């Protein structure tokens, strides 16, 4: 990995992060909180698929994922995303590596695996239910009721799977846009 690769990680990481944050603001409305596991992977697919066309060497996907984990820590999502980022980043990296960083189908699958890191943002809701709401007590009882109704325990696996499936969909959309726009512009 050389300097250019690291700079590319920064460029695509920044685009992905900005898109994610813009969408994540919706999550303050309770009904959108579970839906983030659908919207973020679908929109994030566009920058990520473009990023994967730049990835030729091992390690780049993992570093990008870990940086997302650090950014989540800095934006107040707690330490859990760091763990899911490490796992998802490793999985996505291995998947891309098995296709020698060229396989288009594996790229879509790799983005699906990568997207599962988002689940880390939900983890405190399921592992430390009381603590999560104690920290948000000043949002009012109506908020707490709405979120706990939307997020029963069985939502945990559903959200994880939603991240993966929507990641695949997002990856496919990203590929389509790649062909339609970015190749024409000489970027892909």
Which residues of this chain interact with another protein, rule CB under 8 A? 1-4, 6-11, 13-15, 17-19, 28, 43, 46-47, 50, 59, 63-64, 67, 70-71, 73-78, 134-136, 138-143, 177, 181-182, 185, 187
| Residue with Cβ nearer another protein (9 or 113) | 9
Residue linked to tokens 């892909």: 188
Rounded to a whole number of angstroms, the minimum distance from the CB of residue 157 to another protein is 25
d(CA 78, CA 124): 8
Classify burial at 47, counting beta carbons within 10 Å of its beta carbon; exposed 0-12, middle 13-18, buried 19 or more: buried
| Residue with Cβ nearer another protein (99 or 177) | 177
Rounded to a whole number of angstroms, the minimum distance from the CB of residue 162 to another protein is 19
Rounded to a whole number of angstroms, the minimum distance from the CB of residue 161 to another protein is 23
Instruction: Please name the residues in contact with 163: beta carbons below 8 A apart, sequence gap of 6 or more.
Output: 37, 41, 115, 116, 118, 119
Rounded to a whole number of angstroms, the minimum distance from the CB of residue 154 to another protein is 25
Classify burial at 124, counting beta carbons within 10 Å of its beta carbon; exposed 0-12, middle 13-18, buried 19 or more: middle
């Amino acid at each position: 990995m050389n300097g250019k690769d690291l700079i590319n990680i920064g460029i695509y990481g920044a685009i992905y992060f900005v898109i994610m944050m813009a969408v994540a603001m919706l999550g303050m409305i309770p009904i959108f909180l579970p839906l983030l596991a659908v919207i973020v992977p679908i929109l994030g697919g566009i920058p990520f698929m473009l990023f994967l066309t730049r990835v030729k060497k091992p390690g780049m996907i993992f570093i990008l994922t870990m940086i997302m984990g650090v950014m989540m820590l800095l934006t107040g999502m707690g330490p859990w995303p760091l763990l899911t980022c490490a796992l998802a980043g490793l999985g996505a990296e291995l998947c891309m590596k098995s296709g020698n960083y060229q396989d288009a189908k594996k790229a879509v699958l790799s983005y699906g695996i990568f997207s599962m890191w988002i689940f880390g943002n939900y983890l405190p809701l399921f592992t430390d239910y009381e603590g999560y709401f104690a920290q948000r007590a000043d949002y009012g009882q109506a908020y707490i009721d709405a979120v706990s109704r939307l997020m029963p325990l069985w939502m945990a696996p559903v959200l994880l799977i939603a991240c993966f499936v929507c990641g695949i969909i997002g990856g496919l959309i990203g590929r389509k846009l790649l062909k339609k726009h970015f190749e024409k512009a000489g970027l892909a």
